[in-house]
Amino acid sequence: MNNKYLLGLLATLLPITIVVGCKGEKASAAECVKDSVVSLSIDNDSVIKKKDVPLVVDSIGKSYSSDKGTVDFAYSFPVAGPHVLVDSIRAYLSSEMKGAADSFGEENSKTKPFPRLTDGKAMINYYAKIACENVIRTFDDVDYPDSKCPPELSMFVLKGNETSRYITYVSSFYLYSGGAHGMYSEYAVNFDKKTGVILRDILNPKDIKALQPILRSGLESFFRKFDVVDGEKDVEGRIKADMDNLFIENGIIPLPKSGVYLSPEGLVFIYGQYEIGAYAIGTPTFTVPYNKIGKFLSAEAQRLAGIK
């Protein structure tokens, strides 16, 4: 057989990977990922060595909607990869969805964990249905005029960056149960690709005083970005006012309650709504390069981040 013809034939057999993404704080699961979508994806931005086994995921979503409320659930479900990592992430997804389903649950009635962690579609359908039933039961006696919004509950747990050492999963939670506005939160965890263990204790709380210059600089960069976009004339003055109005004790900026996580660019900090300031400042978020914060990381965090 002609060598050129053989090479051309092999090239046509190369698999094409389709990347599925999700954008928007409150985008519905139907918009993010169609129900029972089968689209195996690998993050193009991943930093993966050829000898590594990448995590392959199926993006699955489930939505329920009625005049009593809306439920949107979605996640990146592992279908291939290192077994210990796949099993760990599936258990984590179940735990995250269970917690969201219980948001409107009765105080003494907690959702039972879904038993078949290998069935991604059945699992998300199970938790979304329970969440919807809880919403309807909670607001069954409430009538919502056309000018008011019914309750909303959404939980997206999506695959973030992947390196040769760890993989990140980002959780986005939104809850509206009446009033002036809903509550949004975002946080993430890193999984060790070799062990499947979630990275904990990235920073030592005992270093909180030594970390103050880094935390202050990070928050100032967060405020500066929005003040510039808003066309603030006295940006530095506005930043000083924002910093002075933070909800902190004794001038000490705390670490985020939801923790921090590793990214290729550095250590990511995300503060929740009302955690360190008024609702108007949203969820202060910033990334600190490793050359500035690396020495404060735990030994395990330094290893996964590739800090020598």
Quick one: fold of 205-305? Actin; Chain A, domain 4 (3.90.640)
Return the CATH class of domain 27-192: alpha beta
Alpha helices, DSSP H, located in 153-234: 212-229
pLDDT tens-place values along the chain, 308 residues long = 444 333 343 333 333 332 333 333 344 554 444 443 333 333 334 454 456 778 899 999 999 998 888 999 999 999 999 999 999 999 999 999 999 999 887 665 678 999 999 999 999 999 999 999 998 888 776 666 554 678 899 999 999 999 999 999 999 999 998 778 899 999 999 999 999 999 999 999 999 999 999 999 999 999 998 777 667 778 889 899 999 999 999 999 999 999 999 999 999 999 999 999 999 999 999 999 999 999 999 999 999 999 97
Domains 27-192 and 205-305 belong to one CATH topology: no
135 closest CA partner among 61, 62, 72, 185? 72
Measured N-to-C along each axis, helices 120-138 and 83-101 cross at an angle, to the nearest 10 degrees, of 10
Query: If DSSP codes are grouped into helix, strand and coil, which group holds residue 58?
Result: strand
Query: Domain boundaries in the chain?
Result: 27-192, 205-305
Task: Name residue 92's amino acid.
Answer: Y
* H and E: helices and strands count for the chain: 8, 9
